[in-house]
Amino acid sequence: WAVTLKYSDEHYGNLSNFAAAFQQRKNRSVTYLDASAYTCGYILEKALETAPTASYPDVLAAVRALNLPSLWG
């Protein structure tokens, strides 16, 4: 993972925007670990929006059914 890749999501648009927002908030450069942690939360958010309940089986099924762009690829 690198900021120069062409991945995107609906929150930040592209990696450059994500990196700039991260730099402003945390006062340091974003790393691949930061991007992966953000992406985990993003995937969980999208799964919870589509799962019929917040139960583990429903959320797991929703995660498995996701097919969306993300900053991680």
The per-residue pLDDT for 72 is 86
User: pLDDT by residue (tens digit) across 35-73?
Assistant: 999 999 999 999 999 999 999 999 999 999 999 999 888
User: pLDDT by residue (tens digit) across 27-41?
Assistant: 999 998 999 999 999
Could you give the 3-state DSSP secondary structure of residue 60? Answer: helix
The span from the CA of 21 to the CA of 37, in Å, is: 15
**48 contacts 54 by C-beta, under 8 angstroms:** yes
Residue 2 pLDDT class (50, 70, 90 cuts): confident
